[in-house]
Amino acid sequence: MMTLAIFKPASGRKAATAVVLASVLLTACATGPTSPEGAEDVRAKLTELQQNPDMMTHARIELRDAQAAVELAEQPLDSDEEALAAYRVYMADRMVEIARAKGKTRLMEADRTRLGEERDAARLAARTLEADRAHADAQQARRSEAGAAAQSALEAEELQRQIDTLEAEATERGLVLTLGDVLFATGSAEIQGGSNRNLENLVHFLDQYPDRQVLIEGHTDNVGSAQFNQNLSRQRAESVRRFLTGRGIDSQRLTVSGFGYERPIANNDNATGRQQNRRVEVIIENRE
């Protein structure tokens, strides 16, 4: 603190000198030291950061240190300490910028961490959804398989019932229904009335299974010429075909052949064997 000197009254030049000196001393006491140049700008930058919630969250310690540096830089110094004042302002500015950089870096790291967590959560949700869908698909597949198996079992049961009704034999060629010679009069290819139960059952079966193809094969015993028996076996097979088409069976499904006595199933040396050989076989082919 400056001490105001008190002079005794004087006269002339001495009095004037004393007045000037007193005026200079009073001016120096009135103005005193001020904040260094640049301190206000640094304070403004610090205030901006302190008003940013993200900076306060992620650079709290650095802002505290910057606050201390700015407060030091704001302290007034004498004119002969300009270098020290400038250094304090510079250091305060650096501390503020360090706080800004640290805050931005940590904010980006926090954002990256958050985005990573959100990505991981999205991936987990996607995998969970995929697993749920796969589980649902598997359950649906099992239900479908069970339903298909049950349906197949019902179809197989119904097919067996139809086969039993037809009195057909399952072979490698398919289902073989044998129509004996009682279906026809001796030497005739016309189907006799009142003997058509097996044929009606055949019609019903073919209606139930429209994808099955049918072979109709005529056979005879060896009585008579080969030509006569060939023609008769063919004609009897044709009669069966006409019966079926007359009941609505598509003719495209039916193939007719006559084999005469070429394919006997019994001995033609006796009446019983010859009767067995006189037949029409209907082969219902297996589905592919």
46-64 pLDDT per residue, tens: 999 999 999 999 999 999 9
- Tell me, what's the pLDDT at 1? 38
Residue 192 CB contacts under 8 Å (≥ 6 apart), including other chains: 182, 183, 184, 185
Band of the pLDDT at 14, cuts 50, 70, 90?
Answer: low
Look at residue 159 and tell me if it is in a domain.
no
Mean pLDDT for the stretch of residues 130-137: 91
**In CATH, what number is assigned to the domain containing residue 233?**
3.30.1330.60
Look at residue 1 and tell me if it is in a domain.
no
Do 128 and 173 lie in a common domain? no
Look at residue 46 and tell me if it is in a domain.
yes
Q: Which residue segment(s) compose the domain that 233 sits in?
A: 167-285
Residue 99: both structure tokens together = 């706080």
Mean of pLDDT over the chain? 85
Residue 150 CB contacts under 8 Å (≥ 6 apart), including other chains: none
pLDDT at 30 over 60: no
Tell me the torsion sign for CA atoms 231, 233, 239, 242: negative
Q: Pick the more confident residue, 277 or 27.
A: 277
Write down which residue in 130, 153, 176 finishes a domain: 153
Look at residue 274 and tell me if it is in a domain.
yes
Do 184 and 272 lie in a common domain? yes
pLDDT at 228 over 50: yes
Look at residue 26 and tell me if it is in a domain.
no
Overall pTM > 0.75: no
Do 138 and 174 lie in a common domain? no
